[in-house]
């Protein structure tokens, strides 16, 4: 998968919040084989433990994708992105503009506006969006080269709530990298996303809150890989009726 000119081998991206300890986070990152981890600027600086947390992220050797988690307005998201660029020295930003406090649903109007501002400033924007095709088109027009449709509300672990919407996105944007972000709860959800032709999956809570985060990270990595292999192997069409899988020719000879 190629995003903003960067070749990415692992199709699993991992969030870094909610782990019981930095050591558990490091173990999960390692066993996931991920190359990209996302970090909230607010998490980094809010509780005064920022420096230690940043050190543990750097030790993973992964590329950092800062995010604007928790931003509810264009201004807030743009300001946070600018601070993240200074702090992490990267043009990459996972752009979240939250529109609704209960569902944490993206505000696609604010998202497009913020993406336009940030792209014009040289940012390479990874927008957390819905499966709305028009919003997707506007984000591409705003300069985004990747789209991150939600699977389900952040932290819900509900899996893919609108597989048909994701399928439509794949068909509508055949050449745009699509990364499902949020709501993945089980390895089977991750595999399903990949079977739909998504290019990658970003998840956090399902690994951080598992009884064995490193074990779950490994399971997610295998699921992502299996789903992708299945997609590339061009699965059979589903049928309404049974079709014998064993040839019946020649049965009469034994009668
Ligand atoms: C860490 C991060 O970026 C989250 O905002 C992301 O959307 C992941 O969501 P889940 O925790 O539901 O996997």
pLDDT of 170 over the 80 cut:
yes
At 36-71, the pLDDT tens digits run 999 998 755 545 556 677 788 889 999 999 999 999
pLDDT of 255 over the 70 cut:
no
| C-alpha 93 – ligand 1 centre gap (Å) | 14
154 lines ligand 1 (CB under 6 A): yes
Residue 7, pLDDT score: 96
Which residues does 64 contact at the CB level (< 8 Å), separation at least 6? Answer: 36, 37, 38, 39, 57, 88, 90, 92
Q: Which protein residue's CA is at the shortest distance from atom 3 of ligand 1?
A: 15
Q: Can you tell me the mean pLDDT for 120-125?
A: 98
Residue 56, pLDDT score: 82
Residue 53, pLDDT score: 79
- Can 209 be counted among the known catalytic residues? no
Residue 57, pLDDT score: 87
Would you list the DSSP string of 113-181?
HHHHHHHHTT-EEEEEE-S-HHHHHHHHHTT-S-BEEBSSSTT-----S-HHHHHHHHHH-TTS-BEEE
As given in the structure block, the two tokens for residue 44 are: 């980094």
98 lines ligand 1 (CB under 6 A): no
Q: How far is CA 193 from CA 48, 122, 220, in A?
A: 37, 30, 12
Residue 247, pLDDT score: 78
Q: Is the CB of residue 205 less than 8 Å from the CB of residue 222?
A: no
Residue 193, pLDDT score: 98
216 lines ligand 1 (CB under 6 A): no
At 174-226, the pLDDT tens digits run 999 999 999 999 999 999 999 999 999 999 999 999 999 999 999 999 999 99
Better pLDDT: 101 or 174: 174
Query: CA-to-CA distance for 54 and 41, rounded, in angstroms?
Result: 10
Atom of ligand 1 nearest to the CA of 155: 12
């Amino acid at each position: 998968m190629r995003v903003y000119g960067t070749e990415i081998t692992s199709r699993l991206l991992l969030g870094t919040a909610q782990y019981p300890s930095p050591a558990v986070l490091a173990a999960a990152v390692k066993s996931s084989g991920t190359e990209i981890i996302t970090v909230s600027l607010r998490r980094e600086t809010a509780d005064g433990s920022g420096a230690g947390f940043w050190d543990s992220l750097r030790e993973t050797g992964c590329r950092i994708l800062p995010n604007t988690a928790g931003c509810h307005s264009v201004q807030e998201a743009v300001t946070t992105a600018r601070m993240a660029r200074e702090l992490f020295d990267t043009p990459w930003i996972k752009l979240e503009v939250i529109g609704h406090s209960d569902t944490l649903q993206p505000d696609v109007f604010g998202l497009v506006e913020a993406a336009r501002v940030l792209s014009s400033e040289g940012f390479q924007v990874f927008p957390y969006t819905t499966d709305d095709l028009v919003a997707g088109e506007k984000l591409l027009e705003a300069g985004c080269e990747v789209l991150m449709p939600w699977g389900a509300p952040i932290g819900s672990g509900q899996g893919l709530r609108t597989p048909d919407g994701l399928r439509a996105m794949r068909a509508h944007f055949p050449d745009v990298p699509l990364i499902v972000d949020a709501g993945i709860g089980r390895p089977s959800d991750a595999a399903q996303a990949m079977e739909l032709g998504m290019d990658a999956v970003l998840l956090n809570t399902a690994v951080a809150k598992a009884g064995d985060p490193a074990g779950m990270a490994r399971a997610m990595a295998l699921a992502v890989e299996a789903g992708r292999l299945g997609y590339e192997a061009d699965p059979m069409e589903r049928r309404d009726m049974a079709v014998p899988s064993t040839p019946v020719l020649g049965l009469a000879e034994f009668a």
